[in-house]
């Protein structure tokens, strides 16, 4: 037990949140947080405190407060001097070399100073000074480092020769011959491919956010989940500790390909959870489609496009569903599990039967419960897919959003 405890990083979490660790130490803490639930819980509490502190508004103490403090201070000093003189004369009359009396008014002044009204005023001043100190010592406008990899990438109208900075609100653009790399604070890096346009939306300790308008980017993040986000015209990618590629075409449609870890893809409550080796398409106005593994058959992938994005033709949907069910292999249970939340009632029954044939539901999961979208039963079934336990999901972002009608 002692060895395990020594491996915890709780003592380093405050410094980690404030970017006070070296890159190597920061990466070590991040990797530990991915594995340790105890430290993740502590980290979430510290991160919340940092976020709340950053929301404090600027406030100056009223002039009346300073006047009251000055009056109390001057009153105490005058009384102290007067009592000091009396004590000195008394000591001389007694022929003492050491003056005892002057020390008493100091305690008396302290008592006067600690009267309720004065104490409240002092507390207000301390609070105001703290807020003022925070306001004037906060860092300048946040920005991330950008390095040129090829060609002539630009930040706004400025060409990047070797390295530059991308500030919040600014756009980084590459032409057909340009590539660049963005350092995502201290939590990762993003490579920007040619013909790409990306904007820095937020650069806080608790939130690192880009917006990909078009093009291709490769992200490698070693921080704990839910610190890095990428907005696209049709979905938001939430990093859950991973490496992935994200592409957006000129129409705003996107494709996510995860090579390690997990990514949550979401738009207005419609969510897809994409593990390593899987992909997920997305469309403007609809959101993310159903995730599938990259080795799925072409017929399987084409049928999913119909089910996800073509809602009008019932005959085409029925034919597409038959293809998906027939082409499904055991590890395509990922796809079928997601379809349970998106299919209509008749389709859901077919999906249930196929998923049950590939991965039998565990004890406590019934057909009736799944068809009515019982979250607990669906979580139990998810745990049988070999994709991890839902307890991990629930810590960061619930994997199941019941279908609303």
Pairing state of beta strands 163-167 and 208-221?
unpaired
Burial class of residue 356 in the structure, from the number of CB atoms within 10 Å of its CB (0-12 exposed, 13-18 middle, 19+ buried): middle
Q: Under DSSP, is residue 253 helix (H, G, I), strand (E, B) or coil?
A: coil
226/168 same-domain check: yes
| Partners of residue 292 on adjacent β-strands | 279
| Domain containing residue 316 | 295-405
Q: Is the pLDDT of residue 106 over 60?
A: no
Do the Cβ atoms of 270 and 279 come closer than 8 Å? no
Instruction: Please give the pLDDT value at position 62.
Output: 61
| Mean of pLDDT values over 77-94 | 55
Cβ atoms within 10 Å of 320's Cβ, excluding its own: 21
pLDDT of residue 38: 81
**Residue 241 has what pLDDT?**
78
Q: Which residue has the tokens 């449609």?
A: 253
CB atoms within 10 A of CB 7: 10
The DSSP letter of residue 332 is G
**Do 278 and 213 have their domain in common?**
yes
234 and 261 inside one domain: yes
pLDDT band at 401 (very low <50, low <70, confident <90, very high): very low
- 401: CB partners within 8 A, 6+ apart: 269, 270, 271, 341
pLDDT for residue 377 is more than 60? yes
What backbone phi and psi angles, to 5 degrees, belong to 153?
-65, 155
Report the C-alpha gap between 368 and 389 in whole angstroms: 23
Q: Which of 91, 122, 137 is the last residue of a domain?
A: 137
| Segment (H or E) for 68 | helix 63-94
Domain match, 216 and 276 both: yes
Is the same domain home to 35 and 49? Answer: yes
**In the chain, how many domains are there?**
4
What is the C-alpha separation between 88 and 100, in angstroms, rounded? Answer: 8
At 93, the pLDDT band (50, 70, 90 cuts) reads low
**How many other β-carbons are positioned within 10 Å of the β-carbon of residue 395?**
14
268 & 302 share domain: no
Q: Comparing 239 with 125, which gets the higher pLDDT?
A: 239
53-57, 118-122, 276-280, 379-383 — most confident range: 276-280
Same domain, 284 and 315: no
Task: Give the tokens for residue 349.
Answer: 């029954």
**Could you say which of 289, 314, 338 is where a domain stops?**
289
Do 283 and 368 fall into the same domain? no
Tokens of 336: 């079928």
Q: How confident is the model over 165-212, as pLDDT tens digits?
A: 999 999 999 999 999 999 999 899 999 999 999 999 999 988 999 999
Q: Are residues 250 and 375 in the same domain?
A: no
Residues 334 and 353 in one domain: yes
Looking up residue 159, the CATH number of its domain turns out to be 2.60.120.1440
Looking at the structure, tell me whether residues 267 and 185 fall in a common domain. Answer: yes
Strands 228-231 and 208-221 come out as: parallel
Which among 263, 289, 315 is the end of a domain? Answer: 289
CA angle 361, 338, 343 (to 5 degrees): 100
Q: State the Cα–Cα distance between residues 295 and 330, nearest whole angstrom.
A: 13
Same domain, 200 and 307: no
């Amino acid at each position: 037990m002692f060895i395990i405890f020594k491996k915890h990083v709780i003592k380093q979490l405050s410094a980690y949140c404030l970017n006070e660790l070296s890159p190597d130490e920061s990466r070590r803490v991040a990797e530990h947080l991915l594995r340790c639930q105890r430290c993740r819980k502590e980290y979430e509490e510290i991160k919340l405190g940092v976020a709340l502190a950053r929301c404090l508004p600027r406030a100056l103490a009223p002039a009346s407060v300073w006047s009251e403090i000055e009056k109390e201070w001057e009153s105490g000093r005058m009384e102290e001097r007067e009592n000091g003189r009396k004590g000195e004369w008394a000591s001389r009359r007694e022929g003492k070399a050491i003056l005892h009396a002057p020390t008493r008014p100091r305690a008396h002044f302290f008592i006067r100073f600690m009267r309720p009204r004065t104490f409240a005023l002092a507390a207000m001043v301390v609070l105001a000074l703290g807020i003022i100190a925070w306001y004037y010592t906060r860092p300048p406008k946040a920005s991330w480092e950008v390095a040129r990899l090829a060609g002539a990438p630009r930040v706004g109208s400025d060409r990047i020769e070797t390295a530059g900075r991308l500030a919040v609100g600014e756009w980084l653009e590459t032409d057909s011959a340009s590539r660049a790399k963005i350092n995502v604070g201290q939590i990762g890096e993003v490579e920007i491919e040619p013909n790409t346009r990306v904007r820095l939306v937020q650069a806080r300790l608790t939130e690192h956010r880009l917006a990909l308008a078009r093009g291709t980017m490769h992200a490698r993040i070693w921080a704990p989940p839910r610190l890095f986000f990428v907005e696209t015209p049709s979905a938001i990618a939430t990093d859950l500790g991973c490496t992935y590629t994200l592409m957006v075409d000129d129409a705003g449609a996107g494709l996510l390909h995860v090579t390690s870890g997990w990514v949550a893809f979401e738009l207005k409550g419609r969510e897809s959870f994409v593990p390593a080796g899987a992909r997920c398409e997305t469309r403007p106005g609809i959101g993310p489609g159903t995730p599938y593994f990259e080795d799925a058959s072409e017929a399987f992938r084409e049928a999913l496009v119909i089910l996800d994005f073509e809602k009008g033709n019932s005959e085409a949907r029925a034919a597409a569903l038959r293809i998906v069910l027939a082409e499904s292999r055991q590890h395509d249970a990922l796809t079928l599990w997601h379809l349970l939340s998106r299919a209509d009632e008749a389709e859901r029954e077919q999906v249930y039967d196929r998923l049950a044939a590939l991965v039998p539901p565990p004890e406590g999961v019934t057909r009736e419960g799944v068809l009515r979208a019982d979250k607990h039963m669906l979580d139990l079934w998810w745990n049988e897919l070999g994709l991890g336990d839902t307890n991990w999901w629930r810590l960061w972002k619930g994997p199941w959003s019941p279908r609303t009608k």
